Chain A
Amino acid sequence: MLSQLRTLWTVLQHTFTKADTVEYPDVMPYLPPRYRARIVLTRDPDGEERCVACNLCAAACPVDCIALQKTEDDEGRWYPEWFRINFSRCVVCGLCEEACPTHAIQLTPDFEYCEYNRQNMVYEKEDLLISGTGKYHDYNFYRIAGKAISGKDKGQARNEEQPINIKSLLP
Chain B
Amino acid sequence: MAKLTVDDQDYDVADGNNLLHACLSIGLDLPYFCWHPCMGSVGACRQCAVKQYADENDERGRVVMACMTPASDGARISINDKQAKDFRAGVIELLMTNHPHDCPVCEEGGECHLQDMTEMSGHTTRTYDEQKRTHNNQYLGPLINHEMNRCISCYRCVRYYKDYAGGRDLDAMGAHHHVYFGRHTDGVLESPFAGNLVEVCPTGVFTDKTFSAHYSRKWDLQTSPSVCQHCAAGCNITPGERYGTLKRITNRYNADVNGYFLCDRGRFGYGFVNSDDRVTQPLARETINHADNTNSDTAIQCSTENSLTRLTQALKDPATIAIGSPRASLESNFALQSAVGESRFYRGIAPSEDTTINTLLKFQQSSCVNSASQRTIESCDAVLILGEDLTHTSPRTALSLRQTVRQRARELADEARIPFWQDAAVRELAQQEKSPLFIINTHKGDLDDIAENTYFNSPQKIARLGFAIAEQLRDKSGALSASLTPEEKEMCSTIVNALSQAKRPLIIAGASLLNEDVLNSALDVIKSLHINREEVIQAHLVVPEVNSIGLAMLTQSSAERSLSEALKQIESGAAKRLVVLENDLYQRVNPEKLDAALEKLDEIIVIDHVWHNGMAKADLIIPAASFAEGDGTVVSSEGRAQRFFATFPVNADNSSANDSWQWVNQALDNRWKNFDAIVNACAESNDLLAPIADLAPPADYRQHGLKVPRMSHRYSGRTALSANINVSEVKQPADPQTALGFTMEGSNVNAPGPLRNTAWAPGWNSNQSIHKFQDEVGGPLTGGSSGLCLFGSAESNELEFGVPSEQTSNADFSAIPFYHIFGSDELSNFAAPIAERSPQAYLALNPLDAAQLDLTQGDGATLRFENLQQVFSLTVVIRPELIRGLVGLPIGLGGLTRHLLEHSPLLEKNLAWQRVPSGRDQNVIATDQSIGLSEGLVP
Contacts and interface: CB of A to CB of B under 8 A. Distances in A.
A147 B102 contact: yes
Interface in B114-148: 129-137, 147
Contacts of A89: 719-720
Nearest to A141: B104
Contacts of B182: 166
27 contacts: A54-B105, A55-B216, A55-B217, A55-B716, A64-B720, A67-B720, A69-B214, A69-B216, A72-B213, A84-B723, A86-B723, A89-B719, A89-B720, A119-B726, A124-B724, A146-B99, A146-B134, A155-B134, A157-B100, A160-B132, A161-B134, A163-B134, A163-B136, A164-B133, A164-B174, A166-B135, A171-B175
A108 interface: no
Contacts of B106: 147
Given A67-B723, A145-B105, A161-B133, 4 more contacts: A67-B717, A89-B719, A145-B104, A160-B132
Nearest to B181: A166
Interface string A76-94: 0010000011101100000
Contacts of A72: 212-213
Contact of B716 (A58, A78, A124, A148): A58
Contacts, number: 142
B716 A166 contact: no
Interface string B464-503: 0000000000000000000000000000000000000000
A58 B216 CA distance: 11
Interface residues of A, number: 50
B178 interface: yes
Interface in B177-232: 178, 180, 182, 212-217, 219-220
B135 A154 contact: yes
A85 B716 CA distance: 12
A165 B100 CA distance: 18
B136 A154 contact: yes
Interface in A61-118: 61, 63-70, 72, 78, 84-86, 88-89, 101-102, 118
Contact of B105 (A78, A155, A167, A168): A78
A112 B913 CA distance: 71
Contacts of A161: 131-134
A38 B723 CA distance: 18
A30 B243 CA distance: 42
A56 interface: yes
Contacts of A52: 104-105
B744 to A, nearest CB: 10
Contacts of A59: 110, 217, 219-220, 714, 716
A145 B102 CA distance: 5
A108 to B, nearest CB: 19
Ranked nearest first, the 7 interchain pairs of A and B with the lowest CB-CB distance are A146-B100, A67-B717, A54-B104, A67-B720, A145-B102, A58-B716, A86-B723
B147 A147 contact: yes
Given A161-B131, A161-B132, A101 B103 contact: yes
Contacts of A122: 720, 723-724, 727
B130 A67 contact: no
A122 B220 CA distance: 20
Nearest to A85: B720
A147 B216 contact: no
Contacts of B147: 147
Contacts of A164: 133-136, 174, 178, 180
Contacts of A159: 129-132
B704 interface: no
Contacts of A101: 103-104
B176 A65 contact: no
B239 to A, nearest CB: 18
Interface string B689-730: 000000000000000000000000011111111011011100
Interface of A: 52-56, 58-59, 61, 63-70, 72, 78, 84-86, 88-89, 101-102, 118-119, 121-122, 124, 141, 144-148, 154-155, 157, 159-164, 166-169, 171
Contact of A169 (B110, B175, B724, B728): B175
A44 B866 CA distance: 69
A3 to B, nearest CB: 52
Nearest to A63: B719
B66 to A, nearest CB: 31
A121 B175 CA distance: 57
B496 to A, nearest CB: 49
B424 interface: no
Nearest to B219: A59
Nearest to B218: A55
A146 B147 CA distance: 10
B315 to A, nearest CB: 42
B176 to A, nearest CB: 7
Contacts of A54: 103-105, 109
B134 A160 contact: yes
A139 to B, nearest CB: 13
A85 B720 CA distance: 6
B101 interface: yes
B101 A66 contact: no
Given A122-B724, A147-B147, A159-B130, A66 B174 contact: no
B720 A66 contact: yes
B78 interface: no
A166 B220 contact: no
B104 A56 contact: yes
B100 A166 contact: no
B212 to A, nearest CB: 7
B149 interface: yes
Contacts of A67: 716-717, 720-721, 723
B501 to A, nearest CB: 47
A171 B214 CA distance: 41
A15 B28 CA distance: 71
A146 B727 contact: no
Nearest to A89: B719
A53, A122, A141, A169: most-surrounded residue (chain B CB, <10 A): A122
A146 B718 CA distance: 33
A95 B134 CA distance: 33
Contacts of B720: 58, 64-67, 84-86, 89, 122
B848 interface: no
A31 B798 CA distance: 89
A167 to B, nearest CB: 8
Contacts of B101: 144-146
B727 A119 contact: yes
Contacts of A58: 220, 716-717, 720
